[in-house]
Amino acid sequence: MDAIKKIAIFQRFRSLSLVPSLDKFMIIYYEKWMSRRLPPLNSLKTFEAAARHLSFTKAADELNVTQAAVSHQIKTLEERLGLPLFRRLNRALLLTDEAQQLYPAVSQALDIVSEAVDRLHRHEQAGVLSVTTMDSFAATWLVPRLGRFRSGYPDIDVRISTSDDPVDLVREGFDLAIRYGYGNWPGLHVERLSTEEVFPVCSPALLENGPPLERPDDLKHYTLLHDDMRVDWRKWLLAAGAKGVDPDRGPTFQHSNLVIQAAIQGDGIALARSVLSASALNEGHLVRPFELALPVNFAYFLVCPEGQVKRPKFKVFREWLISEMRASADEPMEQG
């Protein structure tokens, strides 16, 4: 590493003022470096592991390198210092007197640097993460699971804003969006989270106390619940071969989460979206009277400006979101 880079690193650590001991350590390191070059960091790191374990083999396992690589680094350090660091006695490995003096200083220095790096990572992962998504997705899927994210990452405060219309993420100051559509949002990083399908759902009480619901034709005895996309019921009834069922009758709700809530209350039978109804089905608030499910062309996508992709806060939220989506898809669904 050349002088300019080392001075830049030194100034960076000074400006952060992470811990008093770090500032003192970096000043000492800088002053010593100005007067003489220090051994390579990799050699010091290898020496610390070998000295701690008193074993080249265990050091190699810890550092995920070969024993020959450890021996090479130790030899490089010994040549640099001009003195031996280890004594081999039968099958034992012992530190020389000089190594016993060097080891505590190297170990402490590496601990300080490691702590500083950890603090930097925590700093980058802390703060506010602004998310915009649809009202239905926030209410039925995201918010009920958000407590788990908070438990795992208490330093990140997620701020959720809802809108059914896409917003300008950069102009409005959002870190990311969870959108529902075809995935065609040019100029943004777009990543599919989950596909979706639709199927009828109703409350267990409605199924138990209402008229028999053994065939799709029996839906004519029930109230059909709709969101704004009425075409879904028509497609499902056609695919099921249902006869005598009017696909247009029944109340309409603007948001899909309201349709789910109406079905839970026993107001009728909804054609639910798999992602939004997963929790209610898993918890037994809803059941599926028929197994037939139709895939839909739309899917859920994670959308963000390209510059957000490498930010630590975005990365941890993305990984959590994908994990929760997979778990949600694997949840068993109640069949009627």
Q: Give me the pLDDT at residue 214, please.
A: 93
**In the chain, domain spans:** 3-124, 128-195+298-330, 197-295
Fold matches, 128-195+298-330 and 197-295: yes
- pLDDT higher for 13 or 278? 278
- The mean pLDDT value of the chain amounts to 85
pLDDT at 36: 56
Give the pLDDT score at 234.
Answer: 92
Banded pLDDT at 128 (limits 50, 70, 90): confident
End-to-end Cα separation, the chain, in angstroms: 68
Q: Is the pLDDT confidence value at 9 over 60? A: no
pLDDT at 328: 81
The answer to whether the CB of 211 falls within 8 A of the CB of 222 is yes
Consecutive H or E run containing 26: helix 20-35
- Dihedral sign computed on CA atoms, order 273, 278, 279, 280: positive
Range 27-49 average pLDDT: 72
Q: What are the phi and psi torsion angles at 202 (to 5°)?
A: -155, 170
Query: Across residues 284-297, what is the average pLDDT?
Result: 94
User: Is the pLDDT at 18 greater than 60, yes or no?
Assistant: no
- pLDDT tens, residue by residue, 44-80: 999 999 999 999 999 999 999 999 999 999 999 999 9
Query: What pLDDT was estimated at residue 47?
Result: 94
Taking only the tens place, the pLDDT of each residue in 85-107 is 999 888 889 999 999 999 999 99
Whether 34 shows a pLDDT value over 70: the answer reads no
Specify the DSSP element, H or E, that contains 20: helix 20-35
**Which amino acid is it at 147?**
G
CA distance 48 to 121: 23
pLDDT band at 119 (very low <50, low <70, confident <90, very high): low
Pick 69 or 232 by higher pLDDT: 69
Task: Tell me which CATH code domain 128-195+298-330 carries.
Answer: 3.40.190.10
Residues 6+ apart with CB under 8 A from 129: 156, 157, 158, 159, 175, 176, 313, 314, 317
Cβ–Cβ under 8 Å, residues 194 and 275: yes
According to the CATH classification, is domain 197-295 in 3.40.190.10? Answer: yes
Query: What pLDDT does 14 receive?
Result: 46
Tell me the whole-structure pTM to 2 decimals. Answer: 0.61
Q: Which residue has the higher pLDDT, 23 or 135?
A: 135
Q: Does domain 3-124 have CATH number 1.10.10.10?
A: yes
What pLDDT digit, counting tens, does each position of 180-209 carry? Answer: 999 999 999 999 999 899 999 999 999 999
> 141 near 50, Cβ under 8 Å?
no
Q: How many CA atoms lie within 13 A of 180 on its CB side?
A: 18
Tokens of 251: 């109340």
Share of the chain above pLDDT 70, in %: 84
